């Protein structure tokens, strides 16, 4: 049964990953993410269903458009594969946090919430790496959905108002810190999109896990920036998109935030 579940979530993840590629492209370049046919970015030819099978189509087509023979960006199979792997991991994390079955309706709703947050972070990772942008249409929609989810938990008695208040306060404080950085640096260190993403992360992962997200994002961002300078890809003072590091930090905090904090606190007391 577990192997069937893993296979199901991997296939589901690759299919969602294909959709996330569409979201990442159309949220920047325009077009509905729910309607409209997929087309080759180069020749604009409408793609058939056989051209859109996640990962498989890329392999069978040798990484080229069936119609114009232009190379297909590696972004597409990479995002599909990464989403499949992350969906499997999310399912394993979710199932390990539950009591033995039977599961409740809330358990499955929480799984959907986790998969949604993971999907949003993937989209924002891609758009910031590729275009240097964190589209409002994605970030603000995600903020609305996450806030609604947490509010509904309070309404139905599955969470306390104090938890919601703490998450909102955490989001505001984190966004305020990033706003101060943007204001003081003149958007040289990061941009306004990072402020909104920071708010989303603070709201989604809450306190104290958000500290892990911030520490991880600043640490990995600094390491990558230094490496890019050393290999000549960036000059000192040039900006590096920070959204991917925030997304990575948020993923780590979402799954391991409290465990990392517990390990740190235990290390301090030994």
- Number of alpha carbons in the 13 Å side-chain half-sphere of residue 94: 23
Among 94-103, 119-128, 181-190, the least confident range: 94-103
pLDDT tens digit sequence for 83-100: 999 999 999 999 887 666
Give the model's confidence band at 1: pLDDT under 50 very low, under 70 low, under 90 confident, else very high: low
Instruction: Single out the residue of 223, 212, 205, 218 nearest to residue 120, CA to CA.
Output: 205
Q: Are 79 and 124 in contact (CB under 8 A)?
A: no
Paired strand residues for 46: 39
Instruction: Tell me whether residue 92 is exposed, middle or buried, using C-beta atoms within 10 angstroms of its C-beta: 0 to 12, 13 to 18, 19 or more.
Output: middle
Q: CA angle 123-128-129, nearest 5°?
A: 100
Element (H, E) at 62: none
Residue 172 has pLDDT above 80, yes or no: yes
Residue 75 has pLDDT above 90, yes or no: yes
Q: Output the pLDDT for position 169.
A: 97
Q: Output the pLDDT for position 258.
A: 87
Q: Output the pLDDT for position 125.
A: 97
pLDDT tens digit sequence for 145-170: 999 999 999 999 888 999 999 999 99
Q: How far apart are CA 159 and CA 167, in angstroms?
A: 12
Give the model's confidence band at 246: pLDDT under 50 very low, under 70 low, under 90 confident, else very high: very high
Mean pLDDT of 66-92: 94
Residue 239 has pLDDT above 90, yes or no: no
3-state secondary structure of 50: helix
Q: Tell whether pTM > 0.85.
A: yes
Mean pLDDT of the chain: 91
Q: Output the pLDDT for position 267.
A: 85
Using the structure block, give the residue that is written with the tokens 């969602």: 16
């Amino acid at each position: 049964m577990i192997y069937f579940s893993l296979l199901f979530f991997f296939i589901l993840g690759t299919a969602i990953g294909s959709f996330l590629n569409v979201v990442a492209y159309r949220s920047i370049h325009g077009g509905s993410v729910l309607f409209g046919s997929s087309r080759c970015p180069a020749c604009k030819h409408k793609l058939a269903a056989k051209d859109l099978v996640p990962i498989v189509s890329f392999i069978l087509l040798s990484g080229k458009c069936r119609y114009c023979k232009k190379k297909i960006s590696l972004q597409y199979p990479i995002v599909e594969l990464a989403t499949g792997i992350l969906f499997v991991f999310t399912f394993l994390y979710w199932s390990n946090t539950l009591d033995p079955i039977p599961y409740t309706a809330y358990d499955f709703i929480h799984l959907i919430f986790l998969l949604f947050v993971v999907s949003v972070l993937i989209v924002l990772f891609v758009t910031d790496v590729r275009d240097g942008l964190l589209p409002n249409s994605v970030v603000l929609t995600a903020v609305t959905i996450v806030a609604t989810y947490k509010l509904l938990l309070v309404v139905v008695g599955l969470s306390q108002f104090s938890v919601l208040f703490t998450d909102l306060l955490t989001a505001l404080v984190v966004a305020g810190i990033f706003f101060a950085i943007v204001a003081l640096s003149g958007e040289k260190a990061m941009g306004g999109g990072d402020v909104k993403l920071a708010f989303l992360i603070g709201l989604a992962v809450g306190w104290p896990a958000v500290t892990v997200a911030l520490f991880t994002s600043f640490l990995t961002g600094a390491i990558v920036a230094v490496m890019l300078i050393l290999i000549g890809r960036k000059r000192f003072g040039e900006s590096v998109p920070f959204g991917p590091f925030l997304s990575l930090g948020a993923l780590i905090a979402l799954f391991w935030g409290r465990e990392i904090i517990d390990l740190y606190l235990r290390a301090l007391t030994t």
